[in-house]
A and B are shown apart, each in its own frame.
Chain A
Amino acid sequence: QVADLGCGDVCLLSILKYQKCIEELVGVDINEGRLKWNGLSPCVGDHLDPRELDLAITLYHGSVLEKDCRLLGFDLAACIELIEHFDSEDLAKFPEVVFGYMSPAMIVISTPNSEFNSLFPCAVFRDSDHKFEWSRMQFQTWALDVASRYNYSVEFTGVGEPPTGAEDVGYCTQIGVFRKKAEAAEMAVLEHHGEHVYEVVYTTSYPSLQQINYRRRVVIYLVYREVSRLRRKYQVSLRQDELEAEFIASGNQTGKFTSDLPVPVLTEDDKAMEMAPQPFCIEDKFYVPLQRIIAYPRLGHLCGNVEKLREFLGDMIELNCDGSAVKVDLNDCSDF
């Protein structure tokens, strides 16, 4: 769960949405007009190739200085170039809300480094709305104080290397990474019954493999692919047998028919697939045992066991009479 406090034009969120480990993304900004969500909704590719985990994205219109229980207990809160927009009163309120109330496991705060400003042609604030710009000393003092008050540890870093000759001014933007201390994490009692102060501006959820219809769909496509791959392999081997037979019949005793294809190196997974029951053919039907299909790592991961696989296949793919193998025509005309 990641929250971007003061998300502005949702630039950070549209990068974060690609991260596979994130399940919930929240953006909060006080300026509703700037919230743009065009890049946030799922696109065609997200439907065709769904994510592993669910992802819900919500944009709220509201102030970071107000408490909203929907932002409780996040894993990460990012306040990128946010605090310098606060006047002293708001700045005093800020730690109480973010560290004390929301209390995420990790907080990332960035703010301009005023020492770096000496490298800019005009020595004023970088944005007319900035109420202050801190030196490294000022920021670190504030950060350490906040961290100790709310039981966080803090590390400092930054982005924007200074040019050679001016190394001593530090990064262009300074960053503090706060982590909640273990004992504090245990102590924390989440009060989920709070007020909903923020106004929901936009919400979307992504298709994912956690949703049964999408998982089923992916399984069916993979099974089709795997079955037709095995079938083609089988057809090739049949043809090679024929060639070999011809070869021997033609009186050439010198040896076996050899294929030009390089011998692939078998991985662990390949070996597991070799161990599983092999596909077979009865008359013009080709059968692939479900055991063989489940040995295919990705399908094994998606289905877990044969029963689940059978359930997924349902009436979309024909099985043999005892339901232990997928049954297809050996010679499907669409192949040729």
Chain B
Amino acid sequence: MLPSQFSIFRPQTSVHSPLFSAVSVSFIRSHKKLSFGSRCTFYIIVVSSITSMKYEMLWCFLHILDAGGISSSDPGCTSEERGGKVRRDVMDLSVCTREKLTHVRDCKTGSSGIPVKLVTNLFNLDVPQDWQLYQYHVTYSPDIESRRLRIALLYSHRELSNKAKAFDGVILFLSQKLEEKVTELSSETQRGKTIKMTITLTRELPASSPVCIQVFNIIFKKILKKLSMYQIGRNFYKPSEPVEIPQHKLSLWPGFAISVSHFESKLLLSADVSYKILRNETVLEFMTDLCRKSSVSCFTQTCEKQLIGLIVLTRYNNKTYRIDDIDWSVKPTHTFRKRDGAEITYVDYYKQQYDITLSDLNQPVLVSLLKNKKNDNSEAQMAHLIPELCFLTGMPGQATSDFQLMKAVAKETRLDPLVRQQHLARLADDFQRNKDARFELETWGLHFGCQMSLTGRIAPAEKIIMQDHICHPASAADWSKDIRTCKVLSARSLNKWLVICSNRAESVTENFLNCLRRVGNPMGFNVMCILPSIQTSYYDSIKKYLSSDCPVPSQCVRAQTLNKQGMMLSVTTKIAMQMICKLGGELWAVEIPLKSLMVVGINVCKDAFSQGTMVVGFVASINPRITRQVILFLLTSNPAGALNRWYRNNHGLPARIIVYRDGVGDGQLQTLVDYEVPQLLSSVTEASSKTSPTLSVIVVRKKGMPRFLAETGRNLQNPPLGTVVDSEATRPKWQMACRGTVNPTYYNVIYDDNGLKPDHMQRLTFKLCHLYYNWMGLISIPAPCQYARKLTFLVAQSLHKEPSLELANSLFYL
């Protein structure tokens, strides 16, 4: 038994975190071999509460890049094609990489696998063969500033009144050509002034041009508005058919995300069901609830803590504000100065302006700093808001940990395939039946067609290779049962370890340790650990302390998790597996026919605190089985460093490198092709003296519109795991494969000198999806990519600094 103070255990380290001084560790148990001063090789930490338990593991590698750096930079998205901006995702359409890839120029589809019939959420949008969009430039003489007036003058003109048109004040789009190239019109304003308008044809655009696609999107926006849908953000919702969750004060508005884009050979409209979550709670109601819950003395502090930073929506004018402060000294009966200089009380103002009678005259006011539009140095404007008139927005703060709430929301929003299909069918029906909608489409010469179905292929199931056993999992989604009795590929024995937990958790921890030994043995490794049980708020400190001062792998476990009686065995198995990974062991493998292949996963995401900094995660495999990973620093030096490790491990360089690049934002594709790929290439060549490895770069995307449903008889289901779609629903210029889970993942090969056949590339990607050790099943993106994602997420969300490199060889960030 160890003494009860942690500081005695590690006297040589100066501990300045509140954690170690405040927590008395009264129950410490260790393996016999542990001696003081010896360095522990593993920690297990039992945490007693959830709030700060964001991640199961502590350290991470990170690299912080300036926002101006390589892949995060905004491409200058000005386009001369049109007066306004071209939407960023539209820009990506024009990025073409396939021409350079000789082996896929003619055919980019694979052929292996069992065909499966799939229904998509894509609708054909038929345009006549010779359809063209005519772009005109409009000038006024004398010139008119007001956009409104410009539009009004043009629209009221007889010449144009019955034509389909879209006009933003400068550029006019028509579906029919005007007789003359330059048309002169004149209109009279209300004041009797004559205005001359000159309409000049500037371009004729085919239906597939990006500008056209933008116009199509505008047309569909108009149509959805006509169907009395309400636009929030980019999506459209139906307020008339809300789903209510009154016990959590939430309303869900069903709606659609819609976009028109050009796929393989035709124009398609993709539609997906989406829900808008609205809160039925005013700030005042929230405050009164809070007041009842907490004591009077600390009410103001708790209130400020909970409210500041939230976005509220005003009842009367539908504007959103961020709460920057709460002014407790101002009451609604106080006066303020209106814009015209008159003094008026808040009560009177709202009564006069909005006919609203405030019920609570003692409420404080919320303070919001208005954005300075002029960007000069003048003092920021403040807005005072009345809590009673502000609705809260977004999910409640505790929502993510409130299981009941999440369950209630999930129940309504997670639609089974059949219901999803019904929603889509109704929308399509509305498009075709609604008079206004049909009229709009007809004047533009568009025809809204039927839902598209296509044939995908199911990749063959993979075998999972364990140490002395090869198993065929019953389901690729979860093979935890199949491998429970099998030995993992390789594990390291652990002889120095420590467990720290609190008195209260003593019995469960004992129980857990026994269990751990039990599951550990058949898997072929011995577990040793330290578990301190800590207060929630100390979690962050422990994390920082352990990552910077003494980089030691450790495992945190929540005491509550260990309390679940029936689950003990599976919980322990999972923990044991994680610990093996953290120690650099390997769990399982799949058969990879390519020899000497290095797989790299790169992910980039923004730091949660400082928006300007980017976090880059880089994970590379260092053995041919792709079962061991290494993480390294700078993006530029990355491949070289990874290659060195590979060299040390395998006494030679890999013949091929495949990079899976994740975290590519809208509009960044061109930058990626222009800068990042050459950079990767050059660093690969630099690192290797004689024959340099061949390289492929694949962009991975999870967010995308198309969805697929498998048709089985009359029923609709989610497609089986490993469904590959590489025709029709994909972009024409990209080589692309989709992996059908509920949300498909897109792979876009932007560079490839490995010359892999589409079939092989698809199979390999699918195999790699099996290798994520934190989940005993298939995941939606290749494992190295998921590791990189996990890593960057962890750093961006909680660490914000670089951890020790000593851990780089193991999957410590799981």
Please report A residues at the B interface, Cβ cutoff 8 Å.
Answer: 15, 18-20, 31-34, 36, 42-45, 47-49, 127-129, 207, 217, 220-221, 224-225, 229, 232-233, 236, 260-261, 316-317, 333-335
| Closest Cβ–Cβ distance, residue A106 to chain B (whole Å) | 18
Per the bound structure, the CA–CA distance linking A31 and B316 in Å amounts to 28
Known: A18-B355, A44-B318, A129-B191. A224 touches B246 (CB 8 A): yes
For residue B113, CB closer than 8 A to chain A, the reply is no
Contact status A20-B315, CB under 8 Å:
no
Are the C-beta atoms of B292 and A129 separated by less than 8 Å?
A: no
Closest to B187 in A: A33
The reply to whether A220 and B355 form a contact with Cβ atoms under 8 Å apart is: no
Question: By the criterion CB–CB under 8 Å, are A19 and B355 in contact?
Answer: yes
Binds A, one of B147-155, B485-493, B576-584: B147-155
Given A18-B316, A32-B156, A36-B148, residue A48 in contact with residue B278 (CB < 8 A): yes
Shortest distance from the beta carbon of B344 to any chain A beta carbon, whole Å = 16
Per CB-CB distance, the 5 closest pairs between chain A and chain B, nearest first, are: A33-B152, A43-B318, A45-B315, A128-B191, A18-B354
The answer to whether A333 touches B404 (Cβ under 8 A) is: yes
Contacts A19-B355, A229-B292, A232-B292 given; indicate if A221 touches B246 (C-beta within 8 A). Answer: yes
From the candidates B153, B190, B391, name the one contacting A48 in the complex (CB within 8 A).
B391
- A220 adjacent to B391 (CB under 8 Å): no
Task: Tell me, in angstroms, the Cα distance from A143 to B11 when the chains sit together.
Answer: 97
Give chain A residues whose Cβ lies under 8 Å from the Cβ of B285: 225
In the complex, which residues 349-372 of chain B have their Cβ closer than 8 Å to any Cβ of chain A? 353-356
Q: Does B239 interact with chain A (Cβ within 8 Å)?
A: yes
10 contacts between A and B (CB under 8 A): A18-B353, A31-B152, A33-B153, A33-B155, A44-B391, A47-B278, A217-B244, A224-B249, A260-B296, A334-B247
The answer on a CB contact under 8 Å between A334 and B249 is no
Complex: chain B residue closest to A19, CB-CB: B355
A178 shortest CB reach to chain B, Å: 24
Bound CA–CA A127/B354 (angstroms): 30
Interface members, chain B 264-279 (any A CB < 8 Å): 278
Q: Which residues of the other chain, A, contact B280 by a CB distance below 8 angstroms?
A: 48, 221
A298 to B625 Cα, complex, angstroms: 69
Residues of A within 8 A of B155 (CB): 33
Please, which residue of chain A has its CB at the minimum distance from the CB of B405? A334
B313 sits at the interface (CB 8 A): yes
Indicate if B192 sits at the interface (CB-CB under 8 A).
yes
Residues 554-573 of B contacting A (Cβ, < 8 Å): none
Q: Which of B148, B190, B313 contacts A44 (CB 8 A)?
A: B313
Smallest Cβ distance from B590 to chain A, in angstroms? 42
B24 within 8 A of A: no
Chain A neighbourhood of B706, CB < 8 A: none
Closest Cβ neighbor of A336 among chain B residues:
B293
What residue in chain B is nearest A47 (Cβ atoms)?
B239
Q: Is B221 an interface residue (CB 8 A)?
A: no
Contact of B296 among A33, A49, A261, A334 (CB under 8 A): A261
Interface check B248, CB cutoff 8 A: yes
Cross-chain contact B246 with A20 (CB below 8 angstroms): no
Q: Tell me the bound Cα distance from A119 to B302 in angstroms.
A: 58
Shortest beta-carbon distance from A32 to chain B in Å: 7
Q: Chain B interface secondary structure, helix, strand, loop or mixed?
A: mixed
* Bound: A31/B318 CA distance, A: 28
Within 8 A of A (CB), among B143-193: 148, 151-153, 155-156, 190-193
Given contacts A33-B155, A48-B278, A232-B293, contact A334 B404 (CB under 8 A): yes
Chain B residues, Cβ within 8 Å of A317: 246
Which residue on B lies nearest to A22, using beta carbons? B355
Instruction: Report how far A18 CA is from B351 CA in the complex, Å.
Output: 10
**Which residues from B are CB-within-8-Å of A225?**
285
CB pair B315 A34 closer than 8 Å:
no
Given A47-B239, A48-B280, A128-B192, are A220 and B246 also a contact pair (CB < 8 Å)? yes
B316 A45 Cβ-Cβ under 8 A: yes
Contacts A128-B191, A334-B402 given; does A47 touch B242 at CB 8 Å:
yes
B515 to chain A, nearest CB (A): 28
Judge if B124 is at the interface, Cβ distance under 8 Å: no
Instruction: Report the minimal beta-carbon distance from B422 to chain A, rounded to whole angstroms.
Output: 21
B403-428 Cβ-contact flags toward A at 8 Å (1 or 0): 01100000000000000000000000
Min C-beta distance of B61 to chain A, whole Å: 38
CB-based contact A31/B190 at 8 Å: yes
Hey, which chain B residues are within 8 Å of A334, CB to CB? 247-248, 402, 404-405
Extra inter-chain contacts (12) besides given A33-B151, A44-B391, CB under 8 Å: A18-B316, A44-B230, A44-B313, A45-B318, A47-B242, A47-B278, A48-B315, A128-B192, A128-B193, A221-B280, A232-B293, A233-B292
A20, A261, A333: which contacts B355 (Cβ < 8 A)?
A: A20
CB distance from B56 to the nearest CB of A (A): 24
Taking the nearest CB of chain B, how far is it from the CB of A233, in angstroms? 8
Contacts of B688 in A (CB 8 A): none
* Whole-angstrom CA separation of A53 from B695 in the bound complex: 68
CB nearest neighbor in B for A298: B359
Q: Does B314 reach chain A (CB closer than 8 Å)?
A: yes
| B809 within 8 A of partner (CB) | no
Please, which residues of chain B bring their CB within 8 A of the CB of A43? 317-318
Residues of A within 8 A of B247 (CB): 224, 334
List, in ascending order, chain B residues with CB within 8 A of A48's CB. Answer: 251, 278, 280, 315, 391
CA distance A114 to B421 in the complex (A): 67
Taking the closest CB of chain A, its distance from the CB of B62, in whole angstroms, is: 36
Q: Which of B155, B230, B247, B405 gathers most chain A CB within 10 Å?
A: B247
Q: Which of B156, B232, B239, B293 has the most CB of A within 10 A?
A: B239
Determine which residue in A44, A128, A221, A335 has the highest number of CB atoms from chain B within 10 A of its CB, and name it: A44
Please tell me which one of the listed residues B190, B242, B313, B315 contacts residue A129 in the complex, with CB atoms under 8 A apart. Answer: B190
Nearest neighbor of B279 in chain A, beta-carbon distance: A48
Contact B152 A34 (CB under 8 A): yes
Q: Which residue of B lies closest to A204 (CB)?
A: B228
Q: How far is the CB of A35 from chain B (nearest CB, A)?
A: 9
CA distance A334 to B313 in the complex (A): 24
With a CB–CB cut-off of 8 A, which chain A residues contact B391? 44-45, 48-49
In the complex the two chains form, what is the Cα distance from A261 to B299 in whole Å?
Answer: 13
CA distance A46 to B4 in the complex (A): 60
Residue among A129, A221, A335 with most chain B CB within 10 A: A221
What is the CA–CA distance of A261 and B297 in the complex, to the nearest angstrom? 11
Q: How far is the CA of A316 from the CA of B242 in the complex (A)?
A: 14
CB distance from B169 to the nearest CB of A (A): 13
Contact B315 A49 (CB under 8 A): yes
From A15, A48, A49, A128, residue with most partner B Cβ within 10 Å:
A48
Partner of B278, one of A32, A36, A44, A261: A44
Cα(A236)–Cα(B242), bound, Å: 35
Complex CA–CA separation, A225 to B288 (angstroms) = 11
Considering the chains assembled together, what is the distance between the CA atoms of A302 and B313 in angstroms? Answer: 25
The distance in angstroms between the C-alpha atoms of A118 and B125, with both chains bound, is 64
* CB–CB B278/A129 < 8 A: no
Q: A221 with B249: in contact, given A45-B318, A128-B191, A333-B404 (CB under 8 Å)? A: yes
- Across the interface, name the chain B residue whose C-beta is closest to A33: B152
